Amino acid sequence: MSFLSVTRVIKRFGDVEAVKAVDLEVPRGAFFALLGPSGCGKTTLLRMIAGFEQPDDGVIAIDGVAMNGVPAHQRPTNMVFQSYAIFPHLNVFDNVAYGLRRDGLGKDALRARVEAMLATVRLEGMGARRADQLSGGQRQRVALARALVKQPKILLLDEPLGALDKRLREQMQVELRALQKSLGITFLLVTHDQEEALSMADHIAVMNGGRILQIASPRDLYERPNCREVADFIGEINFFHASVKEIAGDNVTCNAGLLGIVPVPRRAFGFAIAAGDHVLLALRPERITLSGGTVAGEIAAASFLGERSHYHARIAGRSEPVFVASSGPAPQGPVMLGWNPADVIALPFVE
């Protein structure tokens, strides 16, 4: 049994099923992200783990203990709220010390523990500051310190970086990651920002419409998405309709219309196929080359981004452009699009 185990959990709000029979296993010490668009049920799931909402069905267990009926204040979890929820009537020190009152620490021990935690989140000497004297980044650190000082089994983070500007966000991503590694506490992050999830988490569960679509490492999610929604949600991608022409051992050939006959390795299909099946083939922009290929096209738009350039290539007979990312020299005139068969992502076709 894993450290956090969510089994067939269902949550309804009136007639709406916000979370639909979700299963989730989070190993001890992991940095795990729940990624999905707003309204996908990720925050509801997090709030059920924290104990702010009760599941209508299913079991949530932490470290082998079922949490059904255990109120939020008795759970071994602590949360960094999206709004940070810093107590405005307390200073930084008292905010961080808030949850330690019941732990029966002596005055000196309590002070030492709070000061150590403030140092960990780089807020040394800020204990006397009032909540309204803090910047956004500092508020975030106070929220983090206040939760971590309780030494939770799982730290829950609800869109923790959403309110910060881009620069600070990137800095905090690195810091959070380092903090998680050094403390060894299991982090469960909820975010709609794929970059945030990809850069910090070891494991990502992609959610949509109250369901988990796929759970994988960031790299596998990017290179081996299991459905169109995941492929579309993580990064840029080009989709091509195709049908399976022939299956011969490890080699599959597909008829991909404008792309012609396309060979795809059998292992690219994570699902059962038979000749004649409709499938969806997908290619990441950086996996497409602009020369030496077999598909003729021309560049409709180009944008130079420094270390690489983005192109929109038009293929005769296809309305939407093919998105290509390349670091090579700018192409002149017509292009011949090509790719390595091993880079083709094969997905089930759903009407």
In degrees, to the nearest 5, what angle opens at C-alpha 55 toward C-alphas 201 and 44? 45
| Residue 211 identity (one-letter amino acid) | R
For residue 198, the number of C-alpha atoms closer than 13 Å in the C-beta half-sphere is 12
* Closest CA relative to residue 118, chosen from 135, 94, 82: 94
Q: Which of the stretches 5-13, 38-46, 65-73, 111-119 binds other proteins when contact is defined by CB under 8 A?
A: 65-73
Task: Work out how close the CB of 136 gets to other proteins at its nearest, in angstroms, rounded to a whole number.
Answer: 11
- Residue from 20, 25, 70, 81 in contact with other proteins (CB under 8 A): 81
**By rule CB under 8 A, what string of x and - marks binding of each residue 150-189 to other proteins?**
x---------------------------------------
- Residue from 38, 64, 69, 88 in contact with other proteins (CB under 8 A): 88
- Residue from 108, 132, 250, 351 in contact with other proteins (CB under 8 A): 132
340's CB contacts (< 8 A; 6+ apart) are 287
Q: Which of the stretches 16-24, 49-57, 216-224, 322-330 binds other proteins when contact is defined by CB under 8 A?
A: 49-57
DSSP β-bridge partners for residue 204: 33, 216
Q: Hunting for tokens 């800020």 — which residue is that?
A: 126
Length of the chain: 351
- Residue from 49, 67, 118, 147 in contact with other proteins (CB under 8 A): 147
Residues 214-233 that bind other proteins (CB under 8 A): none
- Sheet with 211-216, side-by-side order of all strands: 77-80, 154-158, 186-191, 31-35, 203-208, 211-216
* Helical axes 166-183 vs 136-148, angle rounded to 10°: 20
Task: Work out how close the CB of 91 gets to other proteins at its nearest, in angstroms, rounded to a whole number.
Answer: 11
Total of chain residues touching other proteins, rule CB under 8 A: 28
Q: Which of the stretches 144-152, 222-230, 269-277, 339-347 binds other proteins when contact is defined by CB under 8 A?
A: 144-152
- Residue from 8, 130, 181, 266 in contact with other proteins (CB under 8 A): 130
Q: Does 138 bind other proteins (CB under 8 A)?
A: no
Q: Does 129 bind other proteins (CB under 8 A)?
A: no
* Closest CA relative to residue 12, chosen from 48, 50, 36: 48
Using the Cα atoms of residue 137, residue 138, residue 142 and residue 144 in order, give the sign of their dihedral: positive
- Residue from 79, 200, 201, 213 in contact with other proteins (CB under 8 A): 79
Q: Which one, 61 or 72, has the nearer CB to other proteins?
A: 72
Q: Whole-angstrom Cα distance, residue 79 to residue 212? A: 22
User: CA distances (Å), 97 to each of 90, 153, 346, in order?
Assistant: 10, 18, 52
Q: Which residues bind other proteins (CB under 8 A)?
A: 50-52, 71-74, 77-79, 81-83, 85-89, 98-99, 101-102, 130-132, 146-147, 150
